[in-house]
Amino acid sequence: MAGSTFGNHISVTTWGESHGEALGVVIDGFPAGLKLCAEDIQLYLNRRKPGQSKFTTARAEGDEVEILSGVFEGHTTGTPISLMVRNKDQHSKDYGNIATAFRPGHADYGFYEKFGRRDYRGGGRSSGRETIGRVAAGAICAKLLKELGIEVFAYTKSIGDIKISEFELGERDLNPLAMPDAEAAGKAAEYLEACMQSNDSAGGIIECVITGVPAGIGDPVFEKLDAKLAQALVSIGSVKGVEIGDGFSVSKTCGSINNDSFELDDEGNVVKATNHSGGILGGISDGDDIIVRAAIKPTPSISRLQHTVNEAGEELDIEIHGRHDPVIVPRAVVVVECMCAIAVCDAMLGHMTDQVDYIKEFYKN
Amino acid sequence: MAGSTFGNHISVTTWGESHGEALGVVIDGFPAGLKLCAEDIQLYLNRRKPGQSKFTTARAEGDEVEILSGVFEGHTTGTPISLMVRNKDQHSKDYGNIATAFRPGHADYGFYEKFGRRDYRGGGRSSGRETIGRVAAGAICAKLLKELGIEVFAYTKSIGDIKISEFELGERDLNPLAMPDAEAAGKAAEYLEACMQSNDSAGGIIECVITGVPAGIGDPVFEKLDAKLAQALVSIGSVKGVEIGDGFSVSKTCGSINNDSFELDDEGNVVKATNHSGGILGGISDGDDIIVRAAIKPTPSISRLQHTVNEAGEELDIEIHGRHDPVIVPRAVVVVECMCAIAVCDAMLGHMTDQVDYIKEFYKN
Amino acid sequence: MAGSTFGNHISVTTWGESHGEALGVVIDGFPAGLKLCAEDIQLYLNRRKPGQSKFTTARAEGDEVEILSGVFEGHTTGTPISLMVRNKDQHSKDYGNIATAFRPGHADYGFYEKFGRRDYRGGGRSSGRETIGRVAAGAICAKLLKELGIEVFAYTKSIGDIKISEFELGERDLNPLAMPDAEAAGKAAEYLEACMQSNDSAGGIIECVITGVPAGIGDPVFEKLDAKLAQALVSIGSVKGVEIGDGFSVSKTCGSINNDSFELDDEGNVVKATNHSGGILGGISDGDDIIVRAAIKPTPSISRLQHTVNEAGEELDIEIHGRHDPVIVPRAVVVVECMCAIAVCDAMLGHMTDQVDYIKEFYKN
Amino acid sequence: MAGSTFGNHISVTTWGESHGEALGVVIDGFPAGLKLCAEDIQLYLNRRKPGQSKFTTARAEGDEVEILSGVFEGHTTGTPISLMVRNKDQHSKDYGNIATAFRPGHADYGFYEKFGRRDYRGGGRSSGRETIGRVAAGAICAKLLKELGIEVFAYTKSIGDIKISEFELGERDLNPLAMPDAEAAGKAAEYLEACMQSNDSAGGIIECVITGVPAGIGDPVFEKLDAKLAQALVSIGSVKGVEIGDGFSVSKTCGSINNDSFELDDEGNVVKATNHSGGILGGISDGDDIIVRAAIKPTPSISRLQHTVNEAGEELDIEIHGRHDPVIVPRAVVVVECMCAIAVCDAMLGHMTDQVDYIKEFYKN
């Protein structure tokens, strides 16, 4: 089926394989008139680029974005924005038994059963490189959100057992683990070094905070704002869990604590005394900060010998060569941020037609 | 925006408010030829009906389903199946200050900001009664899945701190808390009694196991099988978190443990040695049991005095009268089951066109 | 597949069979705050009701609409509007060989091949009664359009060879053929009487004029406003052709004639000197009246003996008993009007998010 | 809104502007395992290339397609197929007053009103070059259809008043007007020469015949096979009318003539004695040849002085320089063919899940 598109109003379609000619995205339905240049997008792509620290692969990926359509005279035109990043690394090499064996923890077996064939080069479509399209699209949505006073900010909340205990906004971009807590980042680095020495990998949790979303955004049933955020986040490879607000801990609390009281601030605006809800009630934003978390599994590609089965139906042991990130989390931070930006941007547009009065006001001239 | 529809191949559209004339669902795209009668659906609806124990509201809801279209001579016809349940309780009563005050923990404020008005009777569209349409649709999908050898089974995993420690399939339907562990159910009942005595409410976790799904179902990118399950589950009111397989605990484990080895069983089928993945890798089923969990928040309607704001922008204290379930979990079990059934059924249909060989085989005659 | 839904922003899903329990429609995504009561809808449904002249079937169809959801305190709430009309005529009777024979000119054979079974009672889902849902939805869209200064007006342009030569707006509702030309209506009535006497049926052309649509509505590629209107009209049973503006005659004209010059009116507004385009250029409204036409085939149910094949693969001659409209056109006029109203209403909503400036203006408070 | 995507199962998204960097298409949901190389697509693109006769523009467009993703080891992989054609002609030149004036017969004014700005270079997104993406996608769909025994064949039926009177399949590709009738092609060429001499342009009619579609394809309501074909065809720029089978002439015939009798052929297959229906009844294929027609307006770009208005709200006369096709029809033939191929291919996939028996058969192993 056709499953490479996300969004109801802004429609984001990614394409491309890890070692194919190129990867890209088409963003259809994006409004006309946003000032946009390649640098706006490149800034976000650079945050997911490998080779930036010892915790990320050394693969030389330039990942330079090219705007192919939808921008004219420095502004979006309202027509599909097509963005492309050429793969530099797509030339064939010998994949050995990886070409036919199903790597544990990867989608290889599922792909083979689904499609009857698969592009085994670097995981093909299931590669983390697919997220290039998401990040490019998210960069544009984030820019539009900024013009509406909305900021989307994700960061590493934990790696293995090491959790941040402080939150210093500026710190996130200063350490290679995207943690807004220098001390925790230091400990996490040690933990990762140990993982690497034992040819193993680690997982972690990414948190994303979205500020400035007015109350009333989202939809009451299947397209709840949190339901779309959940789809958006779990659609990122390696995500195995999602929480909104207090998340799983709500299962152990009481209603009298979990219910956030409404009150008025000094300017008479409706605000909440607490934010257990994570900014969303009944699928609709309640005006508070939106807070979501995603649990990321350890990188499945590890250098250890692993037992598996191949396409011929034989058991075998495989070794995955090459250098792989010992942890996916830091590079996935910008992907989480971008998927949230797309989902929120889409919902913001959806709200504009919710009331007859809005429509009459719009067309009155 | 139009957000009351779920599913790409089987399209499920729910409608209706808590105290309106009726609630219902239209299931479009459902294949022709399934034997179906009202009893098949009623059986599922009865599982979510209130008034079945002291832990569920006493409201007299008959919730009898009527098949209005799409079934002829005892079989589905391939045309939209329209199902309706009349509300018996829709007559107006005095809602007091609830009619204009935003109940904490509820969607009232969001609805008001979104639509500029709201049906305040029992929460209107945001009521748990909206799930009647989901359950009715899920019952039909579950019946089709059974014909394909797929079983969907949900149950209460925990309420508050009390977690099941055994799994006895038959026990789930013997206690009012839908726990497959009689002892845990007993303890949970005591905990709930205490909650009720202090005019408070509790949360919990629901787990759903789906057996018999072949490998290869789902999609690699935005429509990943787990992403759709996540959307499906978070779209249920009160769900604040979702996990697939090992869920959030993957953040603390290592790749060498988390990766499930592939091996061959005695008949030469590809199987996995463990199931940390919860049956889904890279968004596609891996042939193992699919395991998902949803965290449910405590019932927001509690009899305690609560502080809030009303539509006129005034702070006030409200008391929510009437009897409410002290815990949503037991009645939500069948809703979780049904949303999973819809999502999996939809993905099963999607796979049938994944390969040119399938299409040529289908049309060869 | 799921094909009973139309519309991108306002999503209209019809359901029901000719002789099932009921027929209806769910309108999701309709904005909150439109004043609406059952009479608003009934007025339109009455225009398609049979039994109103000797040219329409005598079947006693009350076709009374019931609003089941989405309206509260006399206004739309933004949640799905569910509308239902009970069938009075659904009790089983003896359909004779019609139950298994494929009626010429009908969808019977296609349905049987598609679904492997079919509801043979009155055509089931392929009956003209399916349009009840469209008309009910269209009535609501037309009401919203009126508030925006947009009028949708359809009428019979021709029946057989008899074409209107005058256009008197008020006349349409005075004759049973929905012709805005009393003299043509008289001649057409004579032609139809002759058809009926020879147990035959007639076709015709319906024209629809939509006034008040501002320039800039629609989309440049697959969702062109005229492409959606074409889909909307051909989706009505018996429509075999569609024209926009000058339609097929453009094939014989020259660019210098067919191009409409732009000019300024007295108030400085951009207007066109002519309207060969029918109000749509490149899929986007040009501010002029939108003009579309649909060609309707003769009623396929005729009392003559007809040769055909049945489900058992036998040739046979069948006679279709009962009284049928000798012409579909007059009752289809309101269906054309309603499908146009839905398509235009949907496009009007779509335009509201086309520019960043619109979004910033909307959210500036 | 997002309107650049077509298809429910195979999802075709075009992007690109006439004078932007490139144009292209993403085909998502296309089944895995079709043998495919760039030449398969280039063959179709060459048929729409300009500069092939004196009736098409001399613009040097190489229009060489590049496959960027979705094909591996010579076969489609089931993941999005991304195709791109670089524009060679995108360098800025002086567009004079065309940059701000609304060309009569073009979408300029609508674009400006819709988006508040427009890419004036060659019409931008509304250029005929947008169809490059459609043709590339259609070539792939046509190749799949051929494997199922389905042929899609379009040709020029008429130009101005000159209509074909013979049908010689092979002749279509021998004359520059794509007419399967050499004599008519000769006369049409003379007519076009006259048009060109008077700085004018001509219109025409394209017919498309689709053979080999089994009965049962399509859907009964809004997604009728002919409704989708109508949308597909009217979505091509310059199409102002569409007919299925007898089209507009049904308005003048009688039911006894228009109804096609069913009968059995020598092998006992259900066939029709006539084909007034054009192969579709009630939105579903009836097993006969599918026949559709599209009316194409005269090229709006003509060298004569034309009166219009500009963005500043001033009336002016403009002259459109450069050489333009005096008729769009011949180059649009392959576009019509490709849109039909996409629509039919999509519907073929849709049918595979129509019956429970199909699903059980598919999953029985």
Distance, in Å, from the CA atom of A290 to the CA atom of A213, rounded to the nearest integer, reads 8
Distance, in Å, from the CA atom of C209 to the CA atom of C204, rounded to the nearest integer, reads 17
Query: Tens digit of pLDDT for each residue in B129-154?
Result: 999 999 999 999 999 999 999 999 99
Residue B318: pLDDT over 90: yes
Residue B53: predicted pLDDT: 76
Strands B204-211 and B239-244, by their bridges, are unpaired
- Do C309 and D264 lie within an 8 Å CB cutoff? yes
Q: How far is D34 from chain B, CA to nearest CA, in Å?
A: 6
Nearest to D253 among C14, C298, C351 (CB): C298
Nearest to B68 among C9, C21, C80 (CB): C21
Distance, in Å, from the CA atom of A76 to the CA atom of A81, rounded to the nearest integer, reads 8
Interface of B with C in 136-195 (CB under 8 A): none
Which residues on adjacent β-strands are paired with residue A247?
Answer: none
Residue with the bigger pLDDT between B62 and D220: it is D220
Residue A339 CB contacts under 8 Å (≥ 6 apart), including other chains: A134, A138, A229, A232, A233, A235, A236
Distance, in Å, from the CA atom of A9 to the CA atom of A11, rounded to the nearest integer, reads 6
Type of residue numbered A7:
G
Chain D neighbours, 3+ Cβ pairs < 8 A: A, B, C
- Do C20 and B72 lie within an 8 Å CB cutoff? yes
Average confidence (pLDDT) over D262-285:
98
Q: How confident is the model at residue D1 (pLDDT cuts 50, 70, 90)?
A: confident
Query: Tens digit of pLDDT for each residue in B260-286?
Result: 999 999 999 999 999 999 999 999 999
Residue with the bigger pLDDT between B106 and A53: it is B106
Q: Which of A91-95, A216-220, C74-78, D167-171 has the lowest mean pLDDT?
A: A91-95
Nearest to A352 among C147, C220, C362 (CB): C362
Residue B176: pLDDT over 70: yes
| Tokens standing for residue A312 | 């011929």
Phi, psi (deg, nearest 5) at residue B237: -50, 140
Per-residue buried b or exposed e for C80-118, using 16+ beta carbons within 10 Å of the residue's own CB: bbbbbbbbeeeeeeeeeebebbbbbbbbbbbbbbbbbbb
Q: Is the dihedral of CA C294, D248, D278, C50 positive or negative?
A: positive
Nearest to B240 among A246, A268, A295 (CB): A246
Average confidence (pLDDT) over C317-344:
94
Touching check for D235 and chain C: CB below 8 Å?
A: yes
Residue C234: pLDDT over 70: yes
Query: Do B159 and B52 touch, CB atoms closer than 8 A?
Result: no
Residue D61: pLDDT over 90: no
Rounded percentage of chain B residues whose pLDDT exceeds 70: 96
- Do A9 and C353 lie within an 8 Å CB cutoff? yes
Helices A131-147 and A329-351: crossing angle in degrees, nearest 10, is: 50
Query: Tens digit of pLDDT for each residue in A83-127?
Result: 999 998 655 677 888 899 999 999 999 999 999 999 999 899 999
Q: How confident is the model at residue D54 (pLDDT cuts 50, 70, 90)?
A: confident
Residue C90: predicted pLDDT: 57
Q: Which of B39-53, C211-225, D293-307 has the lowest mean pLDDT?
A: B39-53
Residue B55: pLDDT over 80: no
Residue C62: predicted pLDDT: 83
Distance, in Å, from the CA atom of C153 to the CA atom of C336, rounded to the nearest integer, reads 9
Residue B90: predicted pLDDT: 57
Per-residue buried b or exposed e for C327-344, using 16+ beta carbons within 10 Å of the residue's own CB: bbbbbbbbbbbbbbbbbb
- Do B351 and A224 lie within an 8 Å CB cutoff? no
Distance, in Å, from the CA atom of C260 to the CA atom of D102, rounded to the nearest integer, reads 11
Distance, in Å, from the CA atom of A47 to the CA atom of A206, rounded to the nearest integer, reads 15
| Tokens standing for residue B280 | 């889904």
Residue A62: predicted pLDDT: 84
Nearest to A79 among D22, D82, D125 (CB): D125
- Do B230 and A242 lie within an 8 Å CB cutoff? yes
- Report the residue of chain D nearest B213, measured CA to CA: D363
Interface of A with C in 309-348 (CB under 8 A): 348
Count CB-CB contacts under 10 A for residue D40.
17
Distance, in Å, from the CA atom of D133 to the CA atom of D141, rounded to the nearest integer, reads 13
Size of interface C-D (CB pairs under 8 A): 396
Q: How confident is the model at residue B49 (pLDDT cuts 50, 70, 90)?
A: confident
Chain C CB contacts of A363 under 8 Å are: 148-149, 214, 348
Nearest to C353 among D1, D4, D233 (CB): D1
Q: How confident is the model at residue C1 (pLDDT cuts 50, 70, 90)?
A: confident
Chain C CB contacts of A349 under 8 Å are: 353, 359
Chain C CB contacts of B10 under 8 Å are: 2
Q: How far is B127 from chain C, CA to nearest CA, in Å?
A: 12
- pTM of the shown model: 0.97
Chain D CB contacts of C307 under 8 Å are: 261-263, 273
Average confidence (pLDDT) over B229-236:
98
The SS3 assignment for A187 reads: helix
Mean pLDDT in chain A? Answer: 95
- Report the residue of chain D nearest B348, measured CA to CA: D359
Rounded percentage of chain C residues whose pLDDT exceeds 70: 96
The order of strands in the sheet holding A5-6 is: A5-6, A11-16, A22-28, A81-86, A65-69
Concatenated DSSP letters for C130-154? GHHHHHHHHHHHHHHHHHTT-EEEE
Interface of B with C in 65-94 (CB under 8 A): 66-70, 72-73, 75, 77-82, 84
Query: Do A121 and A18 touch, CB atoms closer than 8 A?
Result: yes
Residue C57: predicted pLDDT: 62
Average confidence (pLDDT) over B107-115:
98
ipTM: 0.97
What is the 3-state secondary structure of D153-209? EEEEEEECCEECCCCCHHHHHCCCCCCCCHHHHHHHHHHHHHHHHCCCCECEEEEEE
